[in-house]
A and B are shown apart, each in its own frame.
Chain A
Amino acid sequence: DVKVTQSSRYLVKRTGEKVFLECVQDMDHENMFWYRQDPGLGLRLIYFSYDVKMKEKGDIPEGYSVSREKKERFSLILESASTNQTSMYLCASSWLSYEQYFGPGTRLTVT
């Protein structure tokens, strides 16, 4: 079974803190994605990566950066957390353009 794990299920951070969200997949997938999910707005793509050290901006990259140093790991970084980044963050991976496998999500609250 494909497994995508995320470092935390729940996270509470203060405004201005640097936040790291980590995602690990065990199926040697080339593609990895970071989304945020907000009520009424659905899933929105923040960044994706199609290979080690390769990244592309998604629809809402402002305030975020990413790192992919190893194929199995994709990190999302909030350089200076703000309250409008309070959200559910979901990581996913896929082989080419086939189905995406999602992690359990991290519910981040920024106070």
Chain B
Amino acid sequence: KNEVEQSPQNLTAQEGEFITINCSYSVGISALHWLQQHPGGGIVSLFMLSSGKKKHGRLIATINIQEKHSSLHITASHPRDSAVYICAAGGGTSYGKLTFGQGTILTVHP
């Protein structure tokens, strides 16, 4: 069993739909990261959160520490949101090591 698991692995949506990607982790963490990777592109950090909720534009990330679960929501999805979304658990050291989930491939059709 992976220490960080994401679901679903693949997600297809129509433009405008509300999207949720889930992440469960079994390791102790200091923070949970959400990353985005566009096809052929590099990886960018979307959120780093250790409690509650964060919002940036149409993206919202939530975390429930007790349940060891985080979600990434995209409101009013758009084809440019098509990408791989990766959650990663950060440990408590200053080294910044991350344990990655397998990623969720999101495709948004116009």
Contacts from A to B (Cβ < 8 Å):
30-31, 33, 40-45, 48, 50, 56, 58, 90, 92, 94-105
Contacts and interface: CB of A to CB of B under 8 A. Distances in A.
A97 B45 CA distance: 13
A44 B102 CA distance: 10
B97 A96 contact: no
B76 interface: no
Given A42-B101, A42-B103, A43-B86, A98 B96 contact: yes
Contact of B96 (A44, A58, A97, A105): A97
Given A97-B31, A100-B45, A102-B43, A45 B97 contact: yes
A56 B45 CA distance: 23
Residue in B33, B43, B96 whose Cβ sees the most chain A Cβ within 10 Å = B96
Contacts of A104: 41-42
Nearest to B47: A99
B100 interface: yes
B2 to A, nearest CB: 9
Interface of B: 30-31, 33, 41-45, 48, 86, 88, 90-98, 100-103
Contacts of B97: 33, 45, 48, 58
Contacts of A96: 94, 96
Contacts of A103: 42
Nearest to B48: A99
Given A42-B101, A45-B97, A98 B48 contact: yes
B100 A42 contact: yes
Nearest to B34: A99
Nearest to B30: A97
Contacts of B44: 102
Nearest to B94: A96
Instruction: List the 8 shortest-distance A-B pairs measured between CB atoms, nearest first.
Output: A99-B45, A102-B43, A94-B96, A97-B96, A43-B100, A104-B42, A31-B96, A42-B102
A33 B86 CA distance: 17
Nearest to A40: B102
